[in-house]
Amino acid sequence: MRVPPPPGIAPSRVAVIDRPAVDLDGAVRQVAGQPPIRPQVQPPPAPGSASESEALRRYVRGRLRMQDMQPVRASDDFDAALRLDPGAAPLHAARAESAAQAGDLRRAMAEWEATLQLAPDDLQALVAVGVAASDGDQVQRAAALLGRAWQRFREGRFQALSDAGRATVGAALARALLRLGFDEAAIEVAEVALTAAPEAIGAQRGDGADAAARSQAALARDAGEAALRAGRPAEAAALLAQSAALVPDPRSEALRAFAALRADDRAAARESVARAIAAHPWQDPVATALACWQLHAAGADDGAIEDLQRARDAARESGTPAVEGRLCRMLAAAEPARATEWLRAAVDAGASDAATLEAA
């Protein structure tokens, strides 16, 4: 069924795009740049030499100091080991970790970059540099690095990632792919990231379940819009339902109805209307406009109309003409044959907001 998108949703965000589908592997191939040139470094110490033994001793001691939360002293050990073996990727990775523990994020990132140059498949370096690229709006680099990391995690069924890691890395990668137009690949990644529970994410990240739920809801909504563009409305409806379940939001609910209508599932669209009415959208002008769209696009059963009429009567009795006006607009959308009657009733009751006057 062809219906316009809900108000406030740009048509370009949900219009079907006719192009070949590209999965994650295909997207990673397309965004991959030239292989990094391995830097020329000092040869490693000779096996069994005093230099090798000293480098190993300082590395082990640095690790122990990291466990004891002594990052500055650990960094001294790692620096000493690096002077003896500057081409050892594990030493640069350890130095990155100690710098991060000490709060020196700039040095940490420099060491992760060095690790990546020496060991292009190092998972920690791929993730650290990839997430930083995402934060720095380096979209193609973020997609390339995080895409390679995600492929590796996928090989192990994501068991190497915590819930917080799956959510954070997955969201950064999915959004980079969306920015580059790889909707199908982004959906593939997002659906895995969205299996992480907000409670677990919040506990591991330390920012709480509510913040994690908001992040997951936003990702589910973005993925739902991508599924609409990809011509997969049933999948879009499921993703948008997940978004609305995580953080109730009238826009997500309206988009869910839109996806159901696009899938020719009017029953599901009517259920979305019932959920919208149960949330009392007439208390907010934006929610009212979205509910009016849902009622007009999907229709309403007798029960929904009765609920709106009761709410309208209550608004009249309480002397709230603005609320009554919104309810009359919703009734006009639900009963097109009586639209003029409902809108005149709103104006007669004293509703003076621009939207009601314009509709009347």
Give yes or no for a contact between 56 and 271, defined as CB atoms under 8 angstroms apart.
Answer: no
How large is the average pLDDT for residues 120-126?
A: 95
The whole-number pLDDT of residue 40 equals 74
Secondary structure of the chain: what % helix, strand, coil (to 5)? Answer: 75, 0, 25
73: its two tokens: 């002293």
The whole-number pLDDT of residue 144 equals 97
The Cα diameter of the chain in Å comes to 95
What count of residues does the chain have? 360
Give yes or no for a contact between 196 and 166, defined as CB atoms under 8 angstroms apart.
Answer: yes
273: its two tokens: 């209307």
CA nearest to 123, candidates 141, 147, 103 = 147
Whole-number percent of the chain with pLDDT over 90: 89
CA-based radius of gyration for the chain: 28
* Complete DSSP assignment for 25-64: HHHHHHH--SPPPPPP-PPPPPTT-HHHHHHHHHHHHHHH
The whole-number pLDDT of residue 169 equals 98
Residue 88, Cβ density class (10 Å: 0-12 exposed, 13-18 middle, ≥19 buried):
buried
How large is the average pLDDT for residues 109-127?
A: 96
pLDDT classification of 164: cutoffs 50, 70, 90:
very high
Residue 20, Cβ density class (10 Å: 0-12 exposed, 13-18 middle, ≥19 buried):
exposed
Residue 82, Cβ density class (10 Å: 0-12 exposed, 13-18 middle, ≥19 buried):
buried
The CA distances from residue 50 to 34, 79, 143, in Å, are: 38, 17, 43
* Entry pTM: 0.91
pLDDT classification of 347: cutoffs 50, 70, 90:
confident
Q: Write out pLDDT tens, residues 307-326.
A: 999 999 999 899 888 899 89
74 pLDDT above the threshold of 90: yes
The whole-number pLDDT of residue 359 equals 66
- Check residue 6 and report its DSSP letter: P
Helix axes 50-67, 71-84, angle to 10 degrees: 160
The whole-number pLDDT of residue 179 equals 97
38 pLDDT above the threshold of 80: no
CA nearest to 246, candidates 292, 295, 299, 193 = 193
